[in-house]
Amino acid sequence: MKTYLVTGGAGFIGSNFIHYIFDVHNGDVKVINVDLLTYAGNLENLADLEGNVNYSFIKADICDRDTISKIFAQNDIDYVVHFAAESHVDRSIRDPEIFARTNVIGTLNMLDCARYAWEEGEGFKEGKRFLHVSTDEVYGSLTEEGTYFYETTPYDPHSPYSASKASSDFMVKAYVDTYHFPAVITNCSNNYGPYQFPEKLIPLIINNVLTGKKLPVYGDGKNVRDWLYVMDHAKAIDMVLEKGRIGEKYNVGGHNEKQNIEIVKIIIDTIKEMLPDDDPRKAHINYDLITYVEDRKGHDRRYAIAPDKIKKEIGWEPDTMFAEGIKLTIRWYFEHTEWMEHVTSGNYQKYYEEMYK
């Protein structure tokens, strides 16, 4: 039975990954979830695992060396899957320091604690893996149609968020090159799906459509992103852990490039299609809700991932095209209105702050 240490496992992608590995491996895994439970970490995402003897949660800061070292000392960790990060570009523009602390210093602390725990002689114990989850935003912005980000694309980050993630990627690479540390890096495109915090585009638009609020769109709305259904991403991470080559990086993309304004209109149309005819909200859902707002500072124009390497070496490719994935996502939010109410009100944070203070 493999033991996974998942950082940021109460967040959007982390919680979906934990669900995925329990399902795919028929529960024959042990998961230790380390999360500080900041605004985007929500243990409601994993409520169905409470009481599972193979799952445990530890509230901790990844920058806290004593606590992280103790976790390694008390458990025989096989895999570290490092999701924990500050990830919202707008927040990084307002407060870049916290992004540098969590994303760079936190990653360095995780690497060093794992290095000391896994060292054996001149190398490392057999079968250990550290997977660092990163982003396509480290590559900067594509200006020409038909071009893509490859693993060899030079880094060119444009926001404090992407700069902090680029720095953390380089720290992982330095540990591989210096210590021959058993790490791999994945760089993914924009994720969407269940449990995503509603400051991100897709859950924000879904929530605003359903509650009759305006739908804010930056600039002219023609910024392009490549969209990846979160369970496809979870599958990619699981496969890279098992088959990825040490020291390599793998781009994980969804083959779903769309302008932001397209995404907003697709959500409007899909929600209208999915709501029953007698739902009173249906009459008020239209494109008039769209409101163009001042563009984000340093807003990259286009991202597009080329996942050729991960397909060739590991055999992964996305299973979920956007037309299917957005319906799955909207249906999930339809069925979890209480979750959305808790998240947008902040009530869940107060509850868990009391539980873990």
Mean pLDDT of 78-97: 92
Provide the pLDDT confidence category of residue 355 given band limits of 50, 70 and 90.
very low
> Averaged over 172-187, what is the pLDDT?
98
Confidence of residue 350 (pLDDT cuts 50, 70, 90): low
Handedness of CA 315, 30, 34, 131 (dihedral sign): negative
Q: Looking at residue 260, what is its pLDDT?
A: 95
As a whole number of angstroms, the distance between CA 214 and CA 204 comes to 10
Annotated catalytic residue within 78, 136, 226, 257: 136
**pLDDT surpasses 70 at 348:** no
Report residue 140 as tokens.
């900067």
Q: Which of 78, 86, 137, 232 is catalytic?
A: 137
The pLDDT, as a whole number, for residue 346 is: 66
Region 94-105: what's the mean pLDDT?
A: 96
Residue 349: is its pLDDT beyond 70? Answer: no
Given a contact cutoff of 8 angstroms between Cβ atoms, the answer to whether 168 and 134 are in contact is: yes
C-alpha 187, offset from chain centre: 10
Told to judge if 136 belongs to the known catalytic residues of this protein, a careful annotator would answer yes
Q: Which segments of 140-250 does DSSP mark as H helices, in order?
A: 160-179, 201-211, 230-243
In tens, the pLDDT along 276-285 reads 999 999 988 9
pLDDT tens, residue by residue, 285-313: 999 999 999 988 878 888 899 999 999 99
Q: Is 161 a catalytic residue?
A: yes
When the pLDDT of each residue in the chain is averaged and rounded to a whole number, the result is 93
Percent of the chain at pLDDT > 90 equals 83
The strand pairing partners of 57, in sequence order, are 33
d(CA 306, CA 283): 41
What is the torsion angle, in degrees rounded to the nearest 10, for the CA atoms of residue 88, residue 91, residue 97 and residue 99?
-10
Strand partners, 241: none
Name the band, by pLDDT with cuts 50, 70 and 90, for residue 146: confident
What band does 352 get if pLDDT is binned at 50, 70 and 90? very low
Q: Tell me what pLDDT residue 356 has.
A: 47
Asked if pLDDT for residue 322 goes beyond 50, the answer is yes
Give me the domains of the chain, ranges plus CATH numbers.
2-195+227-254+301-319 (3.40.50.720)
Q: Which of 55, 79, 148, 161 is catalytic?
A: 161
Both tokens assigned to 231: 């369970």
The pLDDT of residue 354: 52
Give catalytic status of residue 156 as yes or no.
no
